[in-house]
Amino acid sequence: MAADASDERARVLVIFPGALGDLICLLPTLRALARRHRGTALELMAREELARLAIGRIGVARAHSIDRREIAALFAGGTLAESAAQFFRGFARIYSFFASGDERFRRALEEAAAPAAVSFHAFRPARPGHVAAAYLEEIGEYAGPDASLEARIDLLDTDATEAQQALARCGLDPARALLLFPGSGGAHKNWPLEKFVALATALPAGLRPLAVLGPAETGMAPLFATRRVAMVSGLALGAVAGLASMASGFVGNDSGVSHLAAAAGARGVAIFGPTEPGRWRPLGRVRVLRADSLDRLGVESVASALAEHIGQVEFCPAPSVSHWRAPTGAHGDGRGR
């Protein structure tokens, strides 16, 4: 996964075990480490799909799968641990957010990486406030207010190309596309699928819905297909970020793709149920809508929040999705970036 195998700069490694949303919340910390170790090559060890996403987009020069055998060797101990030394001794500094409470792993990594300095940090810090700020504090950086947290992703040219190709296959103009992210890491965090479909079919003529489905969400496709809602699935995360950067906006759950869309600069509405937005909300131009019961959160409430936030539709008093209409000239620079 090396972006430039000829890079001979000193190397700094960050080991991080989280999912997509966790990684996006780590972005301010990765940016801070890049500034702290200016002139070095920052590398990330993470889940394989996230490692691929990281290269060139979040200040990471190279990336590695956290499932590689050198990590397993550290847990195995004995002569197997020696096989990890060649890899880890290639780094001048290591920050591990992985297995920080496992003394055996800590000792093995310190021995394998010697003489490199190794520090261990909580994967889910107990500090109050947004987790992105807590990650910064884990490495000894001042977080500041949430608004100052730098959670952005730098898109590659290929991201834009793949996104444009996906939109073309669906016959959609990016300025008219409203992305729907109906899945998440847990069903308990999902706004009911039928309400996503109801929102999609009630949009004004100026907006076209596009459901973006991940590998775990293919079972949602038949309901969208029945209502003739355009869908894309199986896109690489970079292409999803590209879509978000072009679209009019998005509606999503408390999910990794909502974090990714916000990091790509998209405006949108993130629907929260059992989790705490103050700790987990996407950073960026996102309106959070929270409900004690996701089943009772009405389509009209989400539609109204979306209309107010993305600034591309007018919404009449006494909210009803059937009252939406697109104003003239609504699809210019109102999206912002």
Task: Give the pLDDT confidence of 168-186 residue by residue, as tens digits.
Answer: 999 999 999 999 999 999 9
Nearest to 267 by CA among 164, 336, 184: 336
pLDDT attached to residue 169: 96
User: Could you list the residue range(s) of the whole structural domain that residue 292 is in?
Assistant: 157-331
Question: In terms of domains, do 263 and 316 share one?
Answer: yes
Question: In terms of domains, do 178 and 301 share one?
Answer: yes
φ, ψ of residue 55 to 5 degrees: the values are -65, 120
Task: Give the pLDDT confidence of 213-238 residue by residue, as tens digits.
Answer: 998 898 999 999 999 999 999 999 99
- Is residue 57 in a domain? yes
Whether the pLDDT of residue 47 is over 50: the answer is yes
Whether a cis peptide bond, with omega within 30° of 0, leads into 115 is: yes
pLDDT above 90 coverage of the chain, percent = 77
Residue 253 Cα to chain centre, angstroms: 12
Whether the pLDDT of residue 6 is over 90: the answer is no
Whether the pLDDT of residue 325 is over 70: the answer is no
Question: In terms of domains, do 201 and 320 share one?
Answer: yes
pLDDT attached to residue 291: 95
Question: In terms of domains, do 165 and 298 share one?
Answer: yes
- Is residue 93 in a domain? yes
Question: In terms of domains, do 27 and 140 share one?
Answer: yes
pLDDT attached to residue 79: 65
> Looking up tokens 């966790």, which residue turns up?
22
The total number of structural domains that make up the chain: 2
Question: In terms of domains, do 211 and 238 share one?
Answer: yes
pLDDT attached to residue 40: 95
Query: Looking at 96, 129, 148, which one is the last position of a domain?
Result: 148
Q: How many CB atoms lie within 10 A of CB 92?
A: 17
Question: In terms of domains, do 58 and 184 share one?
Answer: no
Residue type for 99, please? Answer: A
pLDDT attached to residue 150: 76
Question: In terms of domains, do 139 and 171 share one?
Answer: no
Query: Looking at 121, 148, 175, which one is the last position of a domain?
Result: 148
Whether the pLDDT of residue 333 is over 60: the answer is no
Question: In terms of domains, do 129 and 187 share one?
Answer: no
Whether the pLDDT of residue 311 is over 90: the answer is no
Query: Looking at 148, 183, 212, which one is the last position of a domain?
Result: 148
* Calpha distance 80→94 (Å, rounded): 20
- Is residue 42 in a domain? yes
Question: In terms of domains, do 143 and 165 share one?
Answer: no
Whether the pLDDT of residue 315 is over 80: the answer is no
Q: How many CB atoms lie within 10 A of CB 48?
A: 14
271, 302 contact by CB (below 8 A): yes
Mean predicted confidence (pLDDT) in 202-214: 92
Question: In terms of domains, do 101 and 180 share one?
Answer: no
pLDDT attached to residue 192: 97
- Is residue 6 in a domain? no
Where residue 317 sits, what CATH number does that domain have? 3.40.50.2000
Question: In terms of domains, do 286 and 261 share one?
Answer: yes
Q: How confident is the model at residue 132 (pLDDT cuts 50, 70, 90)?
A: very high
Question: Which residues on adjacent β-strands are paired with residue 14?
Answer: 44, 95
* Calpha distance 312→334 (Å, rounded): 7
